[in-house]
Amino acid sequence: MSTPTEQTARAHAVTDGHLAALEEEAVFILREVVATFERPAILFSAGKDSCVVRHLALKAFKRRRADGGFEGRLPLPLLHVDTGHNFPEVIAFRDELVAASGDRLVVAHLEDSMARGTVRLSHPLESRNAHQSVTLLEAIEEHRFDALIGGARRDEEKARAKERIFSHRDGFGQWQPKEQRPELWTLFNTRHRPGEHFRVFPISNWTELDVWQYIARERIELPALYYRHEREVVRRRGLLVPVTAVTPPAAGEQVERLPVRFRTVGDMTCTCPVDSQAADAADVVTETLSVTLSERGATRMDDRANDAAMERRKKEGYF
Amino acid sequence: MNALATPEHAAVSAPVQAALRFLTAGSVDDGKSTLIGRLLLDSRAILADQLDQLHARAAASGEAAPDLSLLTDGLEAEREQGITIDVAWRYFATPARKFVIADAPGHEQYTRNMVTAAAGSDAVVVLVDITKLDLTQPEPVLLPQTRRHALLAQLLRVDHLVFAVNKIDAVADAGQAFGRVAAALRRFAAEAALPLAGIVPVSALRGDNVAQRSPAPWYDGPSLLELLEALPNAREPHQAPLALPVQYVARQGDGVGEQPRVLWGRVARGEVAVGDRVQVFPSGETATVQALLGLDGEVASAAAGHSAGVVLDRMIDVSRGDWLLAEASVPPARVLRATLAWLDTEPAQPGRKYLLRHGHRWVQARLRSVQHRLDIHTLAHEAADGLRVNDIGEVEFELQQPLPLLPYAHSRVGGALIVVDPASHRTSGALLVREALAEASA
């Protein structure tokens, strides 16, 4: 064992074999998808995990210029399932990023599914998060996507700890936990029938800390919500709930203006910020090292209800 | 000595080494889930809300203390049945190292799960429940599952094996008991030539010697976590002729033909460098490496385990699934003799055609024969005419197209294949090449 001084020296070493190994693994998986599927797409919400996946795709498929930029086009489109309840600044960030890169973005609107009658809300302000699966499966059918690359990680939630990197979905888009294919070495079994598809998770083996260290190392741009900003919130059941057009304060709740940041960015109705002073990715890394709540526990109202919530949603075709 | 991540030792940059991937092998009741729960808890990978859920469930079921094993049984379906049905991956870190645990449950689907978990692991921790052994013997007889777990890991070429002798808190004379069990384990390891990295007495329940050392007059070795921290990652041979399976053929830039064609692939063994002469398998054509690309621009060379983009000096036909090899280094094989771990509930049928995947190529193949089945406890041969789920046997396949096969003992990439059922598309088997032949022998 090393002494504390040696440990500190190692901790500050600039070389980072760990991140390099994760990056290589992810790029290998991305190339495997593009080489073996006819109509793949990257699920892209402009959230931090999908920004990391997109960056890995740039590294896998584009040519690096001397100034650090990328040349060329991605050989697959980005797909965003828009609930219509996204933070407007995230949508603006998404559109600027895509316009500057010249890559293709497909947006599937949950509101179109509502208009078609395939999504029915029980009340107008119901969280739309759980309904995204319907719109996603409709987009898969419309565009005949056969592989969707997502930024899910196994450390996020217990039901994801058993997820494959190449996860087979049946003709109804359903995940069958007992029918998963054993995944041996990197000999991925991508065989499927027409109408079936795969979800592929190139950053399966990353933790939240790895993601932030990589964002810092690669200087990946994220929506500003991920860093400290002032926002109106109310305190509800131990969470800070943002005050927005679709999440107004309840009667008797006191609105406060606090320095916060988001650890995850999703549908406005179910994503909560945390109290934070972190102004950039390096600050977030430091903060992540001392957190006491898991990412989903701190920020997701919908997962809190039941620790089997994620498993149920996955079976229904959720990301 | 504290091996845990504390805020004052917080690593702002990532560890310099790749994560150690290890699997834990144990049977029902030997404390494996508790051990993993303990590793996660003591390395602070378990956060407050997850602990709260655990306490809430303990309270609901009238238990005094939270059951650490609940941290690892992820699926609702499993909790209802009280068993784990699949391999689960867990993550934790110390300031020096990141870890990935492949948690393979130990019931009837055992071999299938363990083969899956072992295929990507650098190390294996085999749990030995000391309370199940006859400690009156100077060298207690080991349980069959201990032998099975260790031999399976060895078969899959997991590089480092650690025995964690658990429930040491539950035996009367811990020092004498551990000494006797360690002697038996050492003898077994020597006889079977296992890659033994250490034997650690632990109490997963109390945390003794799991993350932190628990001083005892009869044990002054490292804790389990300290031992794991120091293990090197599995490596493929660098000092060997080049073998690189072509994964993806890309043209850089938008305009076809404007930019050189790049052959991306991960080096399976040896090294590729600018100026090297390579031979394409199966065409046999040769060319010279003009340039090599990494993730951040051009590189001079790439070693086994790393991906590189190869630009050749002349335009020859190369597709995904082909290999770039050192000249005349691997002869084409049409027949392979291999160890087959069968993972499918549909038995392996001699005479039937299957799909095999090797490197980035799919080939059709006929299962010519099952020579014998291995007794999973001893690896002794027994007669068999087929293989059922969780069986392991020695088989012969005839290939529809030649492949550049290497023995699995020398190259994981060159010697590993998966068997896929062409009707169900299920991954039915894992093949480890022992011998590659140019032609059918009989």
Residue B323 pLDDT exceeds 70: yes
- What pLDDT band is residue B218 in, cutting at 50, 70 and 90? very high
CA distance A241 to A247: 8
Domains defined for chain A, CATH in brackets: 15-221+309-315 (3.40.50.620), 224-303 (no CATH)
Residues 6+ apart with CB under 8 A from B226: A1, B1, B3, B213
Of A121, A118, A97, the C-alpha closest to A108 is: A118
Q: Do B248 and A286 touch (CB under 8 A)?
A: no
Residue B385 pLDDT exceeds 60: yes
Residue of B18 and A53 predicted with greater confidence: A53
Quote the mean pLDDT of chain B: 86
Which pLDDT score is estimated for B46?
64
- What pLDDT band is residue B65 in, cutting at 50, 70 and 90? low
How far A234 CA sits from the closest chain B CA (Å)?
21
A58 contacts in chain B (CB < 8 Å): none
Q: Of A54-58, B64-68, B105-109, B259-263, give the lowest mean pLDDT range.
A: B105-109
Q: By the CB < 8 Å criterion, does A182 face chain B?
A: yes
Which pLDDT score is estimated for B43?
78
Which pLDDT score is estimated for A298?
56
Q: Do B16 and A18 touch (CB under 8 A)?
A: yes
Minimal Cα distance from B157: which residue of A? Answer: A185
How far B357 CA sits from the closest chain A CA (Å)?
7
Minimal Cα distance from B57: which residue of A? Answer: A307
How far B255 CA sits from the closest chain A CA (Å)?
9
Which pLDDT score is estimated for B440?
55
What's A193's DSSP letter? -
Q: Do A32 and B413 touch (CB under 8 A)?
A: no
Q: pLDDT digits over A185-194, tens only?
A: 999 999 998 8
Q: Mean pLDDT throughout B338-344?
A: 93
What's B375's DSSP letter? P
Which pLDDT score is estimated for A179?
72
Residue A77 pLDDT exceeds 50: yes
What's A184's DSSP letter? -
* Residue from B70, B76, B121 to probe the interface with A (highest A Cβ count within 10 Å): B76
Q: pLDDT digits over A133-154, tens only?
A: 889 999 999 999 999 999 999 9
* Residue from A187, A292, A306, A310 to probe the interface with B (highest B Cβ count within 10 Å): A187
Which member of B96, B320, B426 has the closest CB to residue A7? Answer: B96
Of A39, A311, A80, the C-alpha closest to A175 is: A311
Q: Mean pLDDT throughout B224-249?
A: 92
Q: Mean pLDDT throughout B65-70?
A: 67
* Residue from A73, A185, A206, A280 to probe the interface with B (highest B Cβ count within 10 Å): A185
A181 contacts in chain B (CB < 8 Å): 426-427
Q: pLDDT digits over B250-296, tens only?
A: 875 544 445 678 999 999 999 999 999 999 999 999 999 999 999 88
| Rounded (10°) angle between helices A17-36 and A48-61 | 70
CA distance B146 to A117: 58
Q: pLDDT digits over A244-301, tens only?
A: 888 889 888 999 999 999 988 877 877 889 888 899 999 888 887 776 555 555 555 5
For A84: left if phi > 0, alpha if psi spans -120 to 50, otherwise beta; the answer is left
Residue of A114 and A44 predicted with greater confidence: A44
Which pLDDT score is estimated for B362?
98
Q: Do A185 and B253 touch (CB under 8 A)?
A: no
Domains defined for chain B, CATH in brackets: 7-229 (3.40.50.300), 243-325 (2.40.30.10), 333-437 (2.40.30.10)
Residue of A307 and B32 predicted with greater confidence: B32
* Count of CA atoms in the C-beta half-sphere (13 A) of A14: 0
Which pLDDT score is estimated for A29?
98
Q: By the CB < 8 Å criterion, does A3 face chain B?
A: no
The pTM of this model reads 0.88
Most confident of A176-180, A294-298, B12-16, B438-442: A176-180
- What pLDDT band is residue B162 in, cutting at 50, 70 and 90? very high
Which pLDDT score is estimated for B64?
63
Q: Do A28 and B307 touch (CB under 8 A)?
A: yes
Minimal Cα distance from A4: which residue of B? Answer: B9
Q: Do B295 and A59 touch (CB under 8 A)?
A: yes
Minimal Cα distance from B74: which residue of A? Answer: A158
Which pLDDT score is estimated for B127?
93
Which pLDDT score is estimated for B74?
53
Which pLDDT score is estimated for B276?
97
Q: Of B23-37, B71-85, B173-187, give the lowest mean pLDDT range.
A: B71-85
A207 contacts in chain B (CB < 8 Å): 91, 93, 98
Minimal Cα distance from B87: which residue of A? Answer: A162
Which pLDDT score is estimated for B34?
85
Q: By the CB < 8 Å criterion, does A103 face chain B?
A: no
Residue B47 pLDDT exceeds 80: no
Q: By the CB < 8 Å criterion, does A161 face chain B?
A: yes
